[in-house]
Amino acid sequence: MNQEIINAFEVIKNGGIILYPTDTVWGIGCDATNPEAVAKIYQLKQRTESKSMICLMNGEKMMYNVFKEIPEVAWQILDLSEKPTTLILDNPRNVAPNLISEDKSLGIRLVKEPFCFKLLERMKKPLVSTSANISGQPTPSSFKEISPEIIKGVDYVVNLQHEKIAGKPSTIIKLTNDSQVKIIRK
């Protein structure tokens, strides 16, 4: 796995996009601070930039680098969540502008899964994560379900196809700075 982290990091550092296993499904990712790399993912997925993507992070420090204010309820949800949970928070900063949605929010998920966690440690920046499919197509639940178009369209495929992943997207909860909570996906 260590060699895969090094390989993925080199591609990301040079503005490339990768196909990799997350804590939920196979994802397409890049450096969340690089707008050109983010644009490559939108193009590959044939997705409009108004449909935002999420970022993976590996801890509190990275979250506070992106969000000045994090509602207390966010920490409570993260502490109580038994499955991967994406939080949509207001007013992100220090990320590519084309990642931020029109309502000035950004979805993030803290990961503990070893590959993503170690890659994030090396990057010291958030990692874009979006399902490995063309926009509007079903989310692949395993590597073998990923379309050849996606595989050919990335700069690097992480060689961990044998890794067991959940195969299901995360729960998504939107939290606003004025304490509103809305469940987007269970």
User: pLDDT tens string for the chain (186 positions)?
Assistant: 799 999 999 999 999 999 999 988 999 999 999 999 999 999 999 988 777 799 999 999 999 999 999 999 999 999 998 889 999 999 999 999 999 999 999 999 999 889 999 999 999 999 999 999 999 899 888 899 999 999 999 999 999 877 667 777 788 889 887 778 888 888
Tell me which residue range forms the domain holding 108. Answer: 1-185
The CATH number covering residue 4 comes to 3.90.870.10
The total number of structural domains in the chain stands at: 1
What pTM was estimated for this model as a whole?
0.92
Beta strands in 30-154 (DSSP E): 54-57, 85-90, 105-110, 127-131
Beta strands in 43-170 (DSSP E): 54-57, 85-90, 105-110, 127-131, 156-157
